[in-house]
Chains A and B, each alone.
Chain A
Amino acid sequence: MRKSVEAKRITARPRPGEIVIDKAPADNLGLARGDTVRVLGAPLRVVGEVSGTAAIAGSFAFVNRATLAKVLHADGVASYVLVRAPPWRRRADTGQCDRAARAGRDGVDAAAVRRVRAARRRRHVDRHVRGMTLVGFVVGIAVAGLVAYSLTLSQLRDWGVLRAIGLTARRALALVVAQVGVLVVWGFALALALVFALAAIAPRLSPTLVLAVRGGDVVTAVLVACAVALSAALIPVVRVARLEPASVYRRSS
């Protein structure tokens, strides 16, 4: 699941000398609306809260541009660029921003360029995440396959008995795949329940831990689970397909 860092709800728009902070650090610091917080020596009054920006490394706070210039002692310099665009335009807009920053237009300075580059780094990180997802997929297949193989192996005599008393090879193979499918579905359901439970419990344990579960991710995980089930069933299917019904006469001891 990807963690989405975005402000979900901002309860006020900060004016000069005011600040909107995330609910998690506000709770940690015991701050409420109307309190004053010192940022780089400048006292700012808390006028609202935002949720969903807190992470382990920190959180976002919002002030207006004039306040920021005063706090940073850097009048006329934009140190942060917030870009929001539809997903299908995000890459193109980021590119435009990058070009604008290089040209020094619209008050976008080197800091903005750094942010854009950071966004690119995040995309790079995304590739690593995809790599890790692939590794997870392979490990999932290995674990599910091993469990399915052990299960099939422990039931090999039963499969032999079923073949002897009239189960066709084709039906036996379908049953093996179904058995592995059930195994993976149960595993997936358990993992999903665990994720939802963690998503509910984690913010209570530590407000900086946010786990977002999106519908699209669940659908992707279901598709991946199906692929894992089919892959994991391969070896057990081959083992059962090669099983001779006459093996049922071999002594177990």
Chain B
Amino acid sequence: MSEPLVRVHRLSKVFGEGETRVAAVRDVELELARGEIVLVMGPSGSGKTTLLSMLGGLLRPTQGEIWVDGVDIAKLSEHELPRFRAHRFGFIFQDFNLLAALSAEENVEVALNLAGSRGANAGARARELLDDLGLGARLDFAADQLSGGEKQRVAVARAIGNRPQLILADEPTANLDSQRGQETMRLLRRLANDEGATVLIVSHDERLRAVADRVLWLEDGRFKEMAALARDPVCGMLVALERAVRLEWEGATLYFCAAGCREQFEREHRFNSDTLVGYSDQGVRR
């Protein structure tokens, strides 16, 4: 088995001091194989974005090691980090974050320029990438003239322009309709297969489970076993078993995120036990 691309050891991030102290990420251990797609899910405020920021070298950890292809990026200087980011990482953002003043082609070229590719070479590479993503006719369009799906494809082109080893995607489908979301998912899968890139996705979008090789659940700054999670049959949220509200129902145990969901379930199913069957795979532990 080959050496993992990313190895994270006892990674922690603490914000504030004293009474305002918040441990956003706590002693996280993580390994990402080359060409693997890993989806990190979890409730809001669980530390997903903090973890993503640290893995991308955008935020210094309070403690721990982040080894990317044999380099501990937690120890790189402020001078070395930007260069490392430009060459090794690709970033995909929820809000696309294209530079509004530039065209689609220029947005991609900027990333290439920052990694040292300039002039005609950068231009040709940018056009090739955009053409490959079906944006050949949109090269000169300003960012705000593009649709959401097109913006995301430009953002993907910018992210993969320098052939990064690790692509970090923050809610890549959140601002897209279902068709564009599916397109982005297929694109991420293709990047992992064709380019051999490792893709770490942070998202609430359940659809992304379909393209992920692994799904991790982050809660309170720590990874939890997916096996120890159950889906609330009312709201659909994944809930940790030890903190869930329980209900014994026809010989099975149901898990809810809150008492309100359990009450709603009881009201709806008091006279109709058939409905329960539809949720039995996800929300019921027998």
Write the residues of chain A forming the contact surface with B, with a CB cutoff of 8 angstroms.
155, 157-158, 161-169, 244-246, 248-249, 251-253
CB atoms of A165 and B99 under 8 A apart: no
A165 touches B114 (CB 8 A): yes
Whether, in the assembled complex, B110 has its beta carbon less than 8 Å from a beta carbon of chain A, the answer is yes
Q: List 7 A-B contacts (CB under 8 A).
A: A164-B56, A164-B91, A165-B91, A165-B110, A166-B83, A244-B59, A248-B93
- Residue interface bits B53-77, CB-to-A below 8 A is 1, else 0: 1001011000000000000000000
- For residue A57, give the distance in angstroms from its CB to the closest CB of chain B: 51
Known pairs A158-B100, A246-B53, A248-B93; A165 contacts B111 (CB<8 A):
yes
Partner of A166, one of B59, B79, B114: B114
Q: How far is the CA of A155 from the CA of B91 in the complex (A)?
A: 19
Once A157-B97, A158-B100, A166-B115 are accepted as A-B contacts, the answer to whether A245 and B110 lie under 8 Å apart by CB is no
Contact yes or no, A249 B93, CB < 8 A = yes
In the complex, B201 has a CB within 8 A of chain A: no
Within 8 A of A (CB), among B96-125: 97, 99-101, 110-111, 114-115
Top 6 A-B pairs ranked by shortest CB distance?
A166-B86, A166-B114, A246-B58, A246-B53, A246-B59, A245-B58
Whether B58 contacts A167 by the Cβ 8 Å rule is no
| Among candidates B78, B83, B111, B170, residue contacting A249 with C-beta atoms closer than 8 Å | B170
Which B residues are within 8 Å of any A CB, using their own CB?
49, 52-53, 56, 58-59, 78-79, 82-83, 85-87, 91, 93-95, 97, 99-101, 110-111, 114-115, 158, 170
Residues of chain A within 8 A of B86, CB atoms compared: 165-166
Asked, given contacts A166-B83, A166-B85, whether A161 binds B99 with beta carbons under 8 Å apart, the answer is yes
Interface contact B95-A164, CB-CB below 8 Å: no
Which B residues lie within 8 Å of A155 (CB)? 101
Q: Which of B49, B85, B94, B101 contacts A165 (CB 8 A)?
A: B85
Q: Which residues of A contact B114 (CB under 8 A)?
A: 162, 165-167
Closest CB in chain A relative to B143 CB, distance in Å: 10
A166 to B225, CA, bound (A): 35
A166 and B97 within 8 A (CB): no
- Kindly report which residue of chain A lies nearest to residue B48, judged by CB atoms: A249
Taking A161-B97, A162-B110, A249-B93 as contacts, is the C-beta distance between A168 and B49 under 8 angstroms? no
Q: How far is the CA of A251 from the CA of B170 in the complex (A)?
A: 11
Alpha-carbon separation in the docked complex, A162 to B79 (Å): 15
Query: Complex Cα distance A29/B59, Å?
Result: 79
CB distance from B176 to the nearest CB of A (A): 15
**In the complex, which of the residues A157, A165, A168, A253 has the most CB atoms of chain B within 10 Å of its own CB atom?**
A165
**A168 CB contacts on chain B under 8 angstroms:** 79, 82-83
CB pair A249–B79 under 8 Å, yes or no, is no
Nearest CB to that of B57 among chain A residues?
A: A245
